[in-house]
Chain A
Amino acid sequence: MLADALQLLLNGLMAGAVLAVPAIGFTAIYAVLRFPNFAVGGMATVGAYAGWVANTRLGWPAPAALAVAFAAGAAAGLASDRVALRALRPSRGGAGGALAAAIASVALNIVIENAVRFVWGNDPRGYDLPVYRDWRMMGLRAGPQQLENAALAAAAMAAVFLFLGFTRTGRMMRAVADNPQLASLKGIDAGRVAALATGLGMGLAGFGGMLIGLDTSIDPLTGFRVMLSVFAAAVVGGLGSVPGAVLGAFVVGVGEELSLLALPPSYRTAVGFAAILLVLSFRPRGLLGERAY
């Protein structure tokens, strides 16, 4: 029983690590732009497909393809944000309030999913990468691909933390997130920071989308499926808090896996939500509260 629980914990940690990447993206956008941008799901799909094209059509190895996934997510995210969402954002005094932009991002997700479907159809696609047998240590099973994904996710997270904590641009982003009025008084260009946050956030979404696809397979619904968990992770950790998103992702990931000790797998999603409800009952603003850093 203990071995089973440990295995589930391990599975959950690795799932959580991968979920954390798009969750950071989502929460970072929220921190700076103050609205939940659900198009993160669509960009995860875009990134996954871009990486797939780089990998299978150009023959690039995984790391290079992941970079392409990030870039594609960022580019598509910025472009679609400019066209569809910018005018509606609350920070720009968008008349609709936070609602309009969030709702529009859901509609945007539908557009992106179908754009991908238009080009590539519905068939699941796999990356051109070898599948390895799992390693077994101390009765636990861990796949090299999962470990690699977790490592890549950790690297991405570290990069984001370093960026936000130690670079000038990163600090600008945090300043705008913390206190937009003060930041603009200090001469920080809100528009530039907004673009930065969107680009970073969507790039992370694309990167995360490909990570998920490496483990499984990709189709136009890849991002949509993961969007719910990403949203949940960000909320649990505290919207706008980057470390919170990481924590939230682990809570969601581990929670879903450990639930298998007591419930059948068909109820996994339900347990994920129950865990969220539990956390929010004690901490209505998420585990780490609504802070940028």
Chain B
Amino acid sequence: MFRPTRRAALLGSLATPFLARTALAQAKEPIRLGTLTPLTGAGGSYGPAMVKAARAVADAINAAGGVNGRRIELQSEDDETNPDAGVRAARKLIDVGKVSAILGTWASAVTTAVAPLCWESRTMLFTVSGADSITKLPHNGYIIRTQPNTELQSMRAASYLAEGGAKRVFALSAQTPFAVDSYNRLAAVLKERGSEAVGDVVYDASKTSFRSEVDQALRAKPDALFLNGYTPDVTVILRELYRAGYEGKKFTFGYAANAKMLESLPPEVTEGLISFSPSPDPGSPAYAAVKQALGTDTPDTYSCQIHDHVSLVALAVAKAGDASGAAIHDAVRTISQGGGAKIGSALDGLKALAAGQDVNYEGASGPCDFTERGDIEGCKFRFEQVRAGKITLLSVS
């Protein structure tokens, strides 16, 4: 039987703090992540909720012991919906905040401007921007996007509309990088299905009134309107459509028709509005987790996506044992897709990884499987309709 001598005990007690400190030092080093979202400017209605969602999942992970004992430290900056402000904020996050990943960039111009900084400094960039050109940049795998690109979205929108019986579809678009592309694709798919795109109007989203644009749309006698804009302008357009007595179908993106918008409009104005968002399988545990974390039955798509961003990073760090941007870059696809056990929450995934298993994270915004270029590899869409001022689920396909 080993009996510790007093000397051994003394030596041991001297050594322990050193050992403990080095191990503790390693463990104490937090995982630094940055959110870069629009808190002011034209996109200002989206940023705050995204930060809240990101913090919620980071807090949950930290409360459960962190990633291998390491805390997630989330820094948040405002990109002011402006590419230059975004670049300066990103610089601060990367050079001063020393983050390994930047999450949640929203405006396509901000994402495109910030991307070179990220790939040059080997910082991962997770974005919710939809412009096709973003993943075509030479980013070497340092961009991952959880928002379906324009091509995918327009195709699904067109199929859904055609299947629903719409014959004459008119598009009202805000001036964005994908306004023209999405209309062209919409028109092509509609034509294949025997329907028709009867015209589009690209409006200046900073205006306060869209009467004449709506007039122009209605002159083409559409039976379905595709509202390709964001919450502030779509809110006004819905009002205008109601006033003009339009009774046809109204179709928009889920990010435009969020709960906040519905609160600010009377139910008769939003009645029947159909929206679609990228979606996980029904009954997804990740989606349930976001609902619970945000306290709502209809979390907006951006919150779901940034939830997935944080979760993916946490799992990648756990798998790689290293929190640097490069490590996340290498490890992320090993936990987001492939043959591992399907898990729907970062907490479950962390436990599984700790037990030596492989995982495949299925997120709140979709299966979170990414191509080489960073686009999502196909996802389901959730189609919802507004009835009596509330969002109700129609189908997931």
Contacts and interface: CB of A to CB of B under 8 A. Distances in A.
A34 interface: no
Contacts of B239: 131, 215-217
A212 B242 contact: no
Interface string B38-57: 01101011011000000000
A131 B209 contact: no
17 contacts: A7-B215, A11-B215, A114-B40, A122-B40, A122-B45, A123-B45, A124-B45, A124-B264, A126-B235, A131-B265, A132-B243, A134-B243, A257-B212, A260-B216, A265-B202, A265-B204, A266-B175
Nearest to A123: B260
A226 interface: yes
Given A15-B209, A257-B212, A265-B216, A121 B48 contact: yes
A143 B243 contact: yes
Contact of B207 (A124, A133, A219, A268): A268
A91 interface: no
B203 interface: yes
B175 A117 contact: no
Nearest to B201: A265
A273 to B, nearest CB: 13
B295 interface: no
A268 B175 CA distance: 12
B84 interface: no
A192 interface: no
A215 B209 contact: yes
Given A126-B265, A134-B244, A269 B204 contact: yes
A11 B48 contact: no
Nearest to B269: A131
Contacts of A133: 242-243, 245
Contacts, number: 104
B267 to A, nearest CB: 10
A266 B213 CA distance: 10
Given A117-B44, A131-B243, A141-B244, 8 more contacts: A126-B265, A131-B239, A133-B245, A134-B245, A217-B239, A220-B44, A260-B216, A268-B207
B12 interface: no
Interface residues of A, number: 39
Contacts of A117: 40, 44
A131 B236 CA distance: 12
Contact of A265 (B47, B213, B232, B236): B213
Interface in A205-223: 212, 215-217, 219-222
B243 A125 contact: no
Looking at B45, B202, B212, B235, which has the most chain A CB atoms within 10 Å of its CB?
Answer: B212
Contact of B232 (A219, A257, A260, A269): A219
Interface in B225-244: 231-232, 235-236, 239, 242-244
A219 B43 CA distance: 12
B208 A212 contact: yes
B340 interface: no
A264 B231 contact: no
A130 interface: yes
A177 interface: no
A204 interface: no
Looking at A114, A117, A121, A212, which has the most chain B CB atoms within 10 Å of its CB?
Answer: A121
B200 to A, nearest CB: 10
B163 interface: no
Contacts of B207: 225, 268-269
Interface string A4-17: 10011001000100
B168 interface: no
A223 B269 CA distance: 25
B242 A131 contact: yes
A143 B245 CA distance: 11
Contact of B203 (A141, A145, A265): A265
Interface in B241-280: 242-245, 260-261, 263-266, 268-269
Contacts of B48: 121-122
A126 B260 CA distance: 10
Given A133-B243, A265-B204, A216 B209 contact: yes
B211 interface: yes
A124 B242 contact: no
Nearest to B45: A122
Contact of A216 (B42, B203, B208, B261): B208
A266 B202 contact: yes
Contacts of A141: 215, 244
A131 B204 contact: no
B206 interface: yes
Looking at A114, A122, A226, which has the most chain B CB atoms within 10 Å of its CB?
Answer: A122
B302 to A, nearest CB: 13
A117 B232 CA distance: 15
Nearest to B174: A266
Nearest to B204: A266
Contacts of B243: 131-134, 143, 145
Contacts of B45: 122-124, 219
B212 A8 contact: yes
